Amino acid sequence: MCGIVGYLGSGSALDIVLEGLEQLEYRGYDSSGLTIKTSEGFKRVRAEGSLDHLKQKIEKLEGPLGIGHIRWATHGTASLENAHPHKVGKIQLVHNGIIENSEELKTRFKYNYQSQTDTEVIASVISDFYSRTGDFFQSVFETTKLLEGAFAFLAVCEDEAHSIVGARKGPPLVVGFGKEKEFFISSDLPSLVQKWTSRVAFLEDGELVHIQDGRCQFFSSDGSLIKKKIQTIQKEDQAKGKEDYAHYMLKEIFEQPHSSLRVLKAYTEKGQINFSSPLFQSAEKIFIVACGSSYYAGLYGKFVLESIVGIPVEVDLASEFQYKSLILKPKDIVLFISQSGETADTLSSFHQVKKRGVTCYALCNVRNSSLDREVDASFYLNAGLEVGVASTKAFTSTLVLLLLMALNKQKDHSLVSQLFDLPFLIDQVLSKSEQIKEQAVLFSKYKRFLYLGRGPHYPIALEGALKMKELAYIHAEGYPSGEMKHGPLALVDQEVLVIGLAMKDFYYSKNIMNLQEAKARGGFILTIGDQNHKSVADQHIEIPSCHPFLSPILEVVVLQLIAYHFACSLGHDVDHPRNLAKSVTVE
């Protein structure tokens, strides 16, 4: 979840580390800090809260070496004493991950700990080894053998003015090679490639890197020197900044006509779907494994795959799937969805499946991510850079890609030609943003939100509720419409706003009946659909009529706008929701 960055070269370490932290702030914003090697020694600066607070505390620090950290709190509160880098003796360290045996190590390596973090324990262990051996790299190596859990960290030693040691087990760590004797290290491949260099090497689990005196060496988990392939990663065109939008999230909501068109173009040719393989032709069962919004996209994928391909699909949360007794057959296919390709639970589940020899596919938005590099085949969302923590365009791109994958088996499906109308349909929905803003501002008197849908609309109800929870910090739940009478109807009163996904399709009459039941209990009813049923709807947002598999994509754009405008009316920072981070690299 946290972000780490390091630099050693002839440039300004301060400028590069700060620029790196700006790129990584999506990973956390509870606190930040950096250490720069100056002519007067190693200087450490830390601050609570956003990166701007750190910048305000920094005076000009000239030097060629630096490490930095942006924090999403795991062990310990979001406070100054828990901010990284942590310093023990002559060792300073930044870390992403969770050390599961930190309490055990605390009792073994006695030290007057100044923080509540597990990270300070790593620094303490390295410092203990270093005080006895005087060998910085060996001290880090011996420490990694004692650590249980997940980690990617960078360490510096005050006795070695031109040395950084990094280690990885779980969360990503990438080394970039700049001009002669210039090195970058980051948690994030896209920012590394976009900002500094296209030549990179990936640390795999258990590996270490030692950058010292103008050279870079890699080591395996047993301490052996290894050769790493330096890859040239193509820089992708990415729109920079918020442009004229108030927030990145709003910009990314409005980019969805373009992002949906990109994924359509990537997997079609001359109006026909064109995947490099038949995908599911010989599959007996498909498993979809994901977390958060990607899990809800998987539920939509289950619906379209079973409807079109006719193969049974099971959808699992990665955090649960990895601990299940897996019943997999040779002809099964497991499809992992992770926008970042670094989601810890999803990667852990993948590693469990990989041992069984089952075919594994990935849907992700980041090329050369950990998941992308290891699966049998990857399919890219082509959504472009998404900065807002709450996913928008990456989610809709996932829905489009899953639908394309389902339709790949039936290339003459009548829906294929309609898919190319999708960007125009989304644009029509976006034209209602100001209307939705006016409606959303009036919702502040409601304390609870219920989202109802059936069939392919149910996953969209779940996603709409998640967006409201993420951005507005209020109770919101998604339910299958028909399940309301089996318990959740007890929640409905005059303080509840019920959002019904009510397209004029196969489910319409049943949905309206369920919404009437909620209205009879005092709930305020907002409907989203292509027809206003005035006898039940207190308010209505109209969207274009379209194929039943496409309408959920239009509905989710409306729900994104509702959550965005409602949260803004409450004064919340929608780009940085509290307690959340964009990339979840810890379990």
The per-residue pLDDT for 411 is 59
For the cut 60, the answer to whether the pLDDT of residue 238 exceeds it is no
Distances in Å between the Cα of 376 and the Cα atoms of 75, 320, 357, 545 are 36, 23, 10, 38
> Where residue 586 falls among pLDDT bands split at 50, 70, 90?
low
Q: When comparing pLDDT for 105 and 512, which is higher?
A: 105
pLDDT score of 278 more than 80: no
The predicted structure's pLDDT at residue 251: 93
The DSSP call for residue 320 is H
**Average pLDDT of the segment spanning 333-351:** 92
pLDDT at 581 over 70: no
What percentage of the chain has pLDDT greater than the value 70?
A: 96
Region 538-544: mean pLDDT is: 93
- Active-site position among 169, 302, 469, 582: 582
568 is known as an active-site residue: no
The torsion angles phi and psi of 92, rounded to 5 degrees, stand at -125, 145
Q: Tell me which residue has tokens 């943003």.
A: 433
**Tens of pLDDT along 87-100?**
999 999 999 988 99
Range 546-575 average pLDDT: 95
Distance (Å, whole) CA 397 – CA 91: 44
Of 136 and 481, the structure prediction assigns the larger pLDDT to 136
Q: How far apart are CA 217 and CA 141, in angstroms?
A: 13
562 contact partners, CB below 8 Å, separation of at least 6 = 436, 439, 440, 443, 464, 467, 468, 499
User: Is it the case that residue 414 has pLDDT exceeding 80?
Assistant: no
pLDDT mean over 295-308: 96
Q: What is the pLDDT of residue 194?
A: 72
Q: How far apart are CA 301 and CA 459, in angstroms?
A: 10
Question: Rounded to whole angstroms, what are the CA distances from 382 to 160, 212, 367, 506?
Answer: 43, 38, 10, 32
pLDDT at residue number 587: 55
Which of the residues 2, 360, 364, 568 is marked catalytic? Answer: 2
Whole-prediction pTM value? 0.81
**Quick check: 71 and 585 in contact, CB under 8 A?**
no
Q: Which two tokens stand for residue 176?
A: 């970039």
Q: Would you call 582 a catalytic residue per the annotation?
A: yes
User: What CA–CA distances, in Å, run from 486 to 58, 353, 416?
Assistant: 58, 36, 38
- pLDDT tens per residue, range 7-49: 999 889 999 999 988 888 777 778 899 999 999 999 999 999 8
Measuring CA to CA, which residue among 287, 308, 262, 253 is closest to residue 456?
A: 308
Q: How many CB atoms lie within 10 A of CB 536?
A: 22
Mean pLDDT, all residues of the chain: 89
Residue 191 is predicted with a pLDDT of 73
pLDDT one-digit tens code per residue, 137-153: 999 999 999 999 889 99
Tokens of residue 179, six digits? 């001009």
**Whether 198 contacts 232, CB under 8 Å:** yes
Letter for the amino acid at 248? Y
Token pair of 492 as six digits: 């409905």
Residue 281 binned pLDDT confidence (cut-offs 50, 70, 90): confident
Q: What is the pLDDT of residue 270?
A: 77
pLDDT, residue 413, reads: 67
Q: What is the pLDDT of residue 287?
A: 96
Mean pLDDT lowest among 183-187, 302-306, 381-385, 406-410: 406-410
